[in-house]
Structure 1
Amino acid sequence: MLRSHKLVLFACAAILGAQVSAFAADEDKVVATVGNLEIRQSELDMAVGNLDPQLAQLPDEQKRVAALSGAIDVKLLANNAVGEGIEKSDEYKRRMQFIGDRELHNLYFKKYVVDAVTDADVKARYDKEVAALPKQEELRARHILVKTEEEAKAIIADLDAGKDFIELAKEKSTDPNKSEGGDLGFFSKGRMVPEFEEAAFAMPVGSYSKTPVQTQFGFHVIKVEEKRDVAPPTFEEVQQQVRQLVMRDKYLELITKAKEASKIDIKDEALKAGYDAVNAQQP
């Protein structure tokens, strides 16, 4: 339900890396000059967004310093490149075409996916996913763990005679949780070893096992305290994951419509086969 599609993660990373803070024109101040060239706040913000992931973990002020240092280096060598006329080369023009297309993609993505997803969209998708979840039972149980079947049978006899399960657990159990009366808390299927789980889920609430339950750990006497349906994750816990799920669907919808409106002709047969295989895997 909550897995994010790689396409969306890639696109989000591109957006975040390219996004500029919302400065008004008069607030886009000059933060540094390099000769007669200016570095403005908006450029610094973009440089911060494009920091290497390791540098991105730095405190904010250190990130700004690292980004400014990088921006100054870029200005210096870019100025030298212009002095040599590199901006007129075919290689530069090809690179700028590629970068321009990528940034247009990012801005379109931001407009029709990132900014288009509302809190109401996310909540509606969460409600839909939760409603579709299959019911799953969990239970709370206690146990007393001993080494031999004879010890376990003796404990069951004590319980039959009216002795308290919690006190017997504190006295007899070899499990580290004996001080809590053998309390295992709530668990759902798949959390315990199969023999223990099968016995516990078959027992009614309030009952204890009438025969010892053997597992790789020894012999158990189990008591079931409570059963209930597993609660789904709260909206607050998974809100961001659900938002990415909605964004993924919006993105795929945009891409599908764009592909249907254009003829895509891949000349290389190997590339075409790979492209078709990748697209066939998309939801």
Structure 2
Amino acid sequence: MPKGLTFLPSLALTAMMALPLAAETKPDASTVLARVNGDEITLGHLIATVAALPQQYLQAEDDVLFDFVLEQMIQQQLLGQQQEDLTTENALRLENEKRSLRAVQTVTALTEAAVTDEAIQAAYDAQFKDFAGEDEFDASHILVETEEKAKELKAQLDDGADFAELARENSTGPSGPNGGALGWFGKGQMVPEFEGAVIALEKGQISDPVQTQFGWHLVKLNDKRKTEAPELDVVREELVQTIQQEVIQARIDELTQQAQIERPALEGAGPEIMRQLDLIQE
């Protein structure tokens, strides 16, 4: 067995040699890679199997992975030939898988047709054409333990003291050594009392003492601005997902309106019956 690979579940068997085949000059999905008691395993079967493998298998060298997967498929075929029919449970799982794959095909076709550069641009324009931006604030503060200390510092500031210098000398907050600078922030990022004080200030103005759960603050509004609309590439994936969700939901709604859907009442049991595995284990 190739180093770094493990056998697929329930197939840890001794390797068996495939029947020799004539070389194909132009392989396609129908190209036969092995015949097991007459049943064919094609290149298409192998490609579909590899495409569904976990990432850890795909890290193997191509020649190693090719031989390994084909060998597993041969062993599966040998074991599968020992059964004439699927059990009820497995037959139901196969029906579920077919239903799911068909739905995926429909979804893929819908989204591939809907997601175009033009559609993405239109979605971007619709979402941001009237974008007014949100307020952002650049503020500094001095944090102290008591109202008396805050009033004392406010008096010094009113007399012309330097805000950053007083912050470095007196603020107990982590921004103190940086002159109390907090940088830019938007609404909802600060506690309500602090945010309210900031919003009420004009550029360059210093607040009266403001109490929060952290202590007493003197707040200075350094600057104010509006956020800009994001570049299209920044929100492209979000727009793609929105387009996909809308086209899928629209198609589901349309099909639902056209369909005749019946939901007979479940009699003699409640929803917990879905856990009774013995009903499908025949």
Give percent identity, aligned residues only.
Answer: 30
| Cα shift at 1:115 | 4.1
2:221 match: 224
Q: Tell me if the contact between 2:115 and 2:243 (Cα under 8 Å) persists in the aligned partners.
A: yes
Structure-2 change in CA distance of 1:255 and 1:165 (3 Å):
same
Q: CA RMSD in A?
A: 3.5
1:235 aligns with 2:232: yes
Unaligned 5+ segments in structure 2 are 1-25, 272-282
Structure-2 change in CA distance of 1:67 and 1:162 (3 Å):
farther
1:252 match: 249
| Cα shift at 1:67 | 9.5
1:180 match: 178
Equivalences for 1:56-135 in 2 at 5 Å?
56=55, 58=56, 60-62=58-60, 72-86=71-85, 96-131=94-129, 135=133
| Cα shift at 1:150 | 2.0
Match of 2:164 among 163, 166, 187: 166
Q: CA separation in 1, counterparts of 2:32 and 2:152?
A: 80
Unaligned 5+ segments in structure 1 are 1-24, 275-283
**Amino acid aligned to 2:239:** V
TM-score, normalised to structure 1, is: 0.70
**Amino acid aligned to 1:104:** R
Q: CA separation in 1, counterparts of 2:67 and 2:174?
A: 55
Q: Which has the higher contact order (CA 8 A, sep 6+)?
A: 1
Q: Tell me if the contact between 1:205 and 1:227 (Cα under 8 Å) persists in the aligned partners.
A: yes
**1:150-195 CA distance string (max 9 Å, x none):** 2212221221222221122122211112222111111222111111
| Cα shift at 1:198 | 0.8
3-state SS of 1:86 partner: coil
Structure-2 change in CA distance of 1:91 and 1:185 (3 Å):
closer
1:18 match: none
2:202 match: 204
| Cα shift at 1:265 | 1.3
Structure-2 change in CA distance of 1:249 and 1:75 (3 Å):
farther
**Amino acid aligned to 1:142:** S
Q: CA separation in 2, counterparts of 1:173 and 1:112?
A: 59
**Amino acid aligned to 1:85:** E
TM-score, normalised to structure 2, is: 0.70
3-state SS of 2:102 partner: helix
Q: Tell me if the contact between 1:34 and 1:72 (Cα under 8 Å) persists in the aligned partners.
A: no
Structure-2 change in CA distance of 1:164 and 1:79 (3 Å):
same
Match of 2:52 among 50, 53, 56: 50
